[in-house]
């Protein structure tokens, strides 16, 4: 083996990726080539150097404790008793939020509080349950299993191929007192959440109606965040993004109930 050949394989050997035969041949070469040996040793040293660990046992104990606590409360939330109280919480929460919105609009206080109030139910409780879509772009089969996972009467056809929105997460949430499918999209770095659920009983104050030739929707802007919703049949779709410049109406064709 020449020096050139040996150096070509050297990283594979250091990364433990070379075949046994290659390893053997590189080592044989190193045995009688001082120059290559010092290169090899240097690379090995550099790798070990970067890998120097600085463990902080106190920190990881703390983190571990926190995670276990979260797991325990996560577990509890799957018990029926807790689910009821969750639902109650959601109703109470939306009532409280409606009240806060009224008070705040009445006093016409700073816009960003309203922004916070609106964002809260969407962002803080998002994805209470999530489908097993660990890969970035779910396949058709994964999507089908996600649909099963949603488990209610709502069946959705999601058309992601024609619109350029990438579906990254699928789950369901209890918001505004009802069960909603939650779909998270990314479009050119802009994150968009779609909540799809039964329109009945959902009240969203402060939305301005917008009438387009083909359909009617309602819009609300607060701070950097914008939301629109539209109703087709008995299904309401709420689209939320934190990017004010994004055209949410491009989401119209993405989801339709079937």
Partner 1 sequence: MSSRQSQKDAKRESFEKEALVHLDSLFRTALRMTKNEGDADDLVQETFLKAYRFWDKFEKGTNCRAWLFKIMTNIFINNYRAKAWTPQTIDLEDVDDDFLFGQLSALGPPEDPEKQFFNKVFDDDVKRAVEELPEDFRLVVVLSFLEGFSYQEIADIVDLNIGTVKSRLHRGRKLLQKSLWDYAVKNGFVKEAAK
Helix (H, G, I), strand (E, B) or coil at 135: coil
| 93: its two tokens | 């929460």
For residue 123, state whether it binds partner 1 (rule: CB under 8 A).
no
x/- binding map, residues 6-25, to partner 1, per CB under 8 A? Answer: -x---x---xxx--------
Please name which of 256, 253, 254, 252 lies closest in space to residue 229, comparing C-alpha atoms: 252
Q: Which is nearer to partner 1, 60 or 155 (CB)?
A: 60
Min dist. Cβ of residue 192 to partner 1 (A) = 13
Answer yes or no whether residue 67 interacts with partner 1 by CB under 8 A. Answer: yes
Q: How many CB atoms lie within 10 A of CB 113?
A: 15
Nearest to 118 by CA among 87, 89, 97, 147: 97
Task: Measure the CA–CA gap between 202 and 176, rounded to whole angstroms.
Answer: 7
Distance CA 102, CA 113 (A): 12
Segment contacting partner 1 by CB under 8 A, of 24-32, 55-63, 174-182, 227-235: 55-63
Containing 222, the helix (H) or strand (E) segment is strand 216-222
Give the contact letters, 188-207, x = binds to partner 1 (CB under 8 A), - = no: -x------------------
CB of 147 to partner 1, least distance (A): 17
What does the per-residue mask of binding to partner 1 show for 221-250, with x meaning CB under 8 A? ------------------------------
Applying CB under 8 A, among 2, 28, 47, 111 the residue interacting with partner 1 is: 47
In the block, tokens 């979260």 appear at 70
Whole-angstrom Cα distance, residue 51 to residue 55? Answer: 12
- The rounded distance, in Å, linking the Cα atoms of 118 and 124 is 11
The C-alpha atoms of residue 223 and residue 115 are separated, in whole angstroms, by 6
Whole-number minimum distance, CB 88 to partner 1, in Å?
Answer: 21
**4 contacts partner 1 (rule: CB under 8 A):** no
Task: Please tell me whether residue 155 binds partner 1 under the rule CB under 8 A.
Answer: no
Handedness of CA 123, 129, 135, 139 (dihedral sign): negative
Q: Which of residues 71-90 bind partner 1 (CB under 8 A)?
A: 71-72, 74-75
Least distance to partner 1, CB of residue 200, Å: 30
Note the residues at the interface with partner 1 (CB under 8 A): 7, 11, 15-17, 38-39, 42-43, 45-47, 49-55, 59-60, 63-64, 66-68, 70-72, 74-75, 130, 132, 134-136, 168-169, 184, 186, 189
């Amino acid at each position: 083996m020449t020096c050139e050949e040996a150096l070509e394989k050297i990283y594979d050997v250091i990364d433990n990726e070379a075949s046994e035969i290659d390893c053997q041949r590189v080592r044989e070469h190193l045995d009688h080539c001082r120059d290559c040996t010092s290169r090899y040793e240097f690379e090995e040293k550099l790798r070990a150097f970067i890998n120097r660990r600085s463990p902080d046992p106190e920190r990881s104990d703390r983190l571990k404790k926190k995670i276990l606590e979260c797991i325990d409360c996560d577990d509890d939330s799957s018990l029926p008793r807790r689910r009821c109280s969750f639902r109650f919480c959601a109703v109470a929460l939306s009532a409280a939020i409606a009240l806060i919105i009224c008070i705040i609009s009445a006093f016409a206080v700073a816009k960003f509080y309203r922004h916070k109030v609106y964002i809260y139910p969407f962002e803080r409780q998002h994805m209470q349950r999530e489908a097993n879509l660990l890969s970035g772009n779910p396949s058709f089969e994964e999507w089908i299993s996600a649909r099963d996972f949603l488990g209610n009467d709502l069946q959705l056809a999601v058309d992601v191929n024609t619109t350029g929105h990438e579906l990254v997460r699928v789950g369901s949430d209890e918001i505004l007192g009802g069960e909603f499918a939650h779909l998270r999209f990314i479009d050119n770095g802009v994150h968009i959440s779609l909540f799809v659920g039964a329109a009945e009983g959902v009240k969203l104050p402060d939305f301005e109606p917008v009438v387009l030739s083909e359909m009617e929707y309602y819009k609300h802007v607060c701070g950097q965040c914008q939301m629109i919703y539209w109703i087709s049949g008995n299904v309401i779709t709420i689209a939320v993004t934190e990017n004010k410049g994004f055209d949410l109406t491009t989401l119209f064709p993405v989801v339709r109930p079937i």
